[in-house]
Amino acid sequence: MTRPTLVLGGTGYVAGELLRLLAGHPELSLAAVVSRSQAGQPIEANFPHLTGAYRDQHFATEEAARALLESGQPLALFSALPHAESAATLADALDRARASGTELAVVDLSADFRHPVAEEWQAIYGEPHASPDTIAAFTCALPELREGVPTRCIAHPGCFTTASVLGATPLIQAGLAEPQVVVSAITGSTGSGRRPSPTTHHPERQSNLFAYKPLGHRHEPEMRRLIGEACGQRVVVDFVPHSGPFARGIHATIALRLTERIREEEARQAIATFYRDAPFVDVVEGTPRLKDVVGSNRCHLGVAVRDDRAVVFSVIDNLIKGAAGGAVQWMNRLCGFEESAGLTQPALGWL
């Protein structure tokens, strides 16, 4: 029997990817997708690319979500709500599930539970945390860097963070690189969400490339903490994000100083050994390319070495491995399913 699944914040790009993945998942079945603005409207009207997957299914109300949370039946819950909105909603969901005996597994895709201290979150996002008492229920981690099920609630890291942390961690953790990282990463326009802005509007972005929020992006503290936790030491990260003229994908270039002279083949082998049990991370010869991962839950890593310097290249689909796919990967583990369930689709290859 499949696990009923509830999706909150159902009309954005990440929610659309969640719905696409759930449509082919062997263990998770959509029970309701909630949208305040589109309640009662057909799912396929908002996501025409899902035509045929959710015929006669409509966006649900918050009341329908509460009924599921109070049903007493096991439930998988994904939140694709914006940051500063997800925390209070999930706190209420956890309370309702607890009171009714509903077994609840949660993966939050907002930024609300990515930091373990409310004051740290407030310093980054400029407003008080909506539910500081709920933070302890969540673990923010990548499945490749945390074994087992640390908590029943997971906060998925940001897309830039996913690409950068997967690329930077292995050589530092092995003691082959110093704990100082410089990341230059380019993201597609879908990373900024569905609502157009001056930096995501197509005429501004097409045939253009520019940095934004250099050394001040919100994902930088996430990178420092997650790499540091994985490596057991304090890590310095300097992060410069860029807006690219494409819709999907992240290409991260990660510069490291080696602690000893090693050959490129040795660095590549060290990274491959680190991820030998990770089903969605591949180490390639040469430099990885976005088109080889876009549309999949895969991360491709490459490395170049000269003297005491290494550069690691990391490419992911920001909407899948960096968001919806990583969330499904965690949910599979939370529910006791095969970790790769519903996520084995290969990349699109040509866009």
φ/ψ (deg, to 5) at 306: -145, 125
Burial 50-59 (b: 16+ CB within 10 A, else e): beebbeeebb
Contact assessment for residue 8 and residue 103, using Cβ atoms and an 8 Å cutoff = no
| CA 292/CA 83 separation, integer angstroms | 30
Catalytic residue among 140, 159, 231, 299: 159
Measure CA 70 to chain center. 28
Strand pairing category for 180-187 and 250-257: antiparallel
3-state helix, strand, coil in the chain (%, to 5): 35, 25, 45
| Six-digit token string for 247 | 């819709």
Q: Is 231 a catalytic residue?
A: no
For residues 44 and 55, the answer to whether their CB atoms sit within 8 Å is yes
Give catalytic residue positions. Answer: 159
